[in-house]
Structure 1
Amino acid sequence: MDLLKLLFWNCRGAGNKTFKRNLVEILRSHKPEILILMETKITFSKMGNFFTRLGFTASTIVDPIGRVGGIWQLWDTTQVNVRASSVGPQVIHATVHKEDYEEWVLAAVYASPNPLLRENLWNELEEVADKMDKPWLVARF
């Protein structure tokens, strides 16, 4: 059975030359099938075809508001199938399927620094947990 490789990075800004150079090197070294970038600070559309050229041909995106936040979930469709089930400003829930693996749920969480919004997120996650019937990975940044 092949491993399923995920890479989570609170990049604190995407799009500059240093980010791109470092990401290419990290991808070359680790070869993840799923890439989660947090706190991107720019809109995904400003990246052009950068990720497609790297093999990440599908995505679920929560762009930042101004220069705050941002969650980008990207994947290589030749390796894994990812289907977003819930997308919000603080979390992307997605079902992940890879051949020879049990289907599971990935929650990519970027919690707001606003205490009220963050409390709403934790309540939402508790509700999801009560109903969850699959393996569930919650990755918080």
Structure 2
Amino acid sequence: MIVLSWNCRGLGNPRAVPVLRELIRTHTPDIIFLFETLVHAQKLEDIRTKIGYEGCFAVNRDWRSGGIGVFWRRSSTCSLLSFSNNHVDMEILDSAIGGWRLTGFYGIPERHRRRESWNLLRTISTASTLPWCIIGDFNDLLHLEDKQGLVEHPEWLFKGFRDAVNDCALQEISMQGYTFTCSRRRGKPNAVEERLDRAFGNFEWMVLFPDAQLSNLVADISDHSPLLLKTTQPEVFIKQRKFRFENKWLREPHFQELVQHSWDVGSGHDLLPRLEMCADLLSTWGKQRFVAFKQSINQYKQKLKQLRNYSNPESVEEYDATRKNMIDLLVQEEDHWRQRAKTF
């Protein structure tokens, strides 16, 4: 099972869906939690159709804030247990290991209401005896080292969140990658980085999935990083693909020369063998072009991971330029998939 959790800071942003689709193509999550969607349920249903998932559940935004969206690949794997403006609780049905519980959680941002978040955690924890995992944007910090910046974090907030986690008998799932999941005002004197996004499991869940891995990803249209939780290593399937002509090839330089060359190589053969040779050559060439495109995106992502460790003006400027270039590529790729799906 692969779970993606992300405070996307608004799905109305035209760049949000291309970035989400890239995350899906790269990591193939089975379940996706999106927080602060800032949209109504119908928008989530439209996105579900675009990304090709079977199931969708939405908690509508509250005026101009909030909103939770959940997508899952197979409708038979998930059963909704409860929800609120700040959580969606589901039972995951697994014929091999039995059922377990997965909760997407969005902590209340306002400090004066933080105790409501902690009490909600306690309430959810007692709702079932199933093995339980909870993931999301908690809008809270556990330790002093979870924050970097000039603005201090009150001790009562640390203690309140720690007490709630302890009362729920939760253990934190260790995270790989960059320490902080939320960055604001990068490169400025008042820049702040925090670890607001986390995943926890109770004892039964940790025993069930002892090799679970949590990763901090890059998707820079939001100030929050996506989290990727893997309970097991995904199986690899090799699919045999039929030849399909791509209209975008017509815009590639030297395309006509390539076709002419393949046709000349097959001279002396009958029509069908020549067509097969041309199709094979185009398929190989098309894959190479696609790989080069994906490599560019991956290079930008790796560069972003490196640059976010630095806050000097030159690095911040390079970070912003790299982010723009990567998003431009993702938008181009989104246009390609829309053309293939004939959704223009």
TM-score calculated relative to the size of structure 1: 0.85
Do the aligned partners of 1:109 and 1:139 also contact (CA within 8 Å) in 2? Answer: yes
Distance in structure 1 (CA, Å) of the matches to 2:108 and 2:70: 18
**Aligned pair partner of 1:10 in 7, 17, 32:** 7
Q: Give the equivalent residue in structure 2 for 1:89.
A: 85
Change (3 A) 1:116 1:87: farther
| Cα offsets for 1:20-75 (capped at 9, x unmatched) | 11111110011111011011111131355331232222122111112211111110
- State the Cα RMSD in Å: 2.0
Aligned-residue offset at 1:98: 3.0
TM-score calculated relative to the size of structure 2: 0.37
Q: Give the equivalent residue in structure 2 for 1:69.
A: 66
Distance in structure 1 (CA, Å) of the matches to 2:65 and 2:39: 9
> Where does the alignment leave 5 or more consecutive residues of structure 1 unmatched?
none
Aligned-residue offset at 1:117: 4.2
Aligned-residue offset at 1:76: 0.9
Asked if 1:132 corresponds to 2:98, the answer is: no
SS in 2 for 1:17: coil
Distance in structure 2 (CA, Å) of the matches to 1:86 and 1:48: 20
Distance in structure 2 (CA, Å) of the matches to 1:94 and 1:135: 12
Distance in structure 2 (CA, Å) of the matches to 1:58 and 1:122: 29
| Greater RCO, CA 8 A, separation 6+ | 1
Amino acid in the other structure paired with 1:91: H
Name the structure where strand makes up a greater proportion of residues: 1
- Percentage identity across aligned positions? 27
Do the aligned partners of 1:15 and 1:47 also contact (CA within 8 Å) in 2? Answer: no
Distance in structure 2 (CA, Å) of the matches to 1:64 and 1:97: 28
Distance in structure 2 (CA, Å) of the matches to 1:109 and 1:48: 20
Distance in structure 1 (CA, Å) of the matches to 2:46 and 2:91: 25
Q: For this pair of structures, how many residues does the alignment match?
A: 137
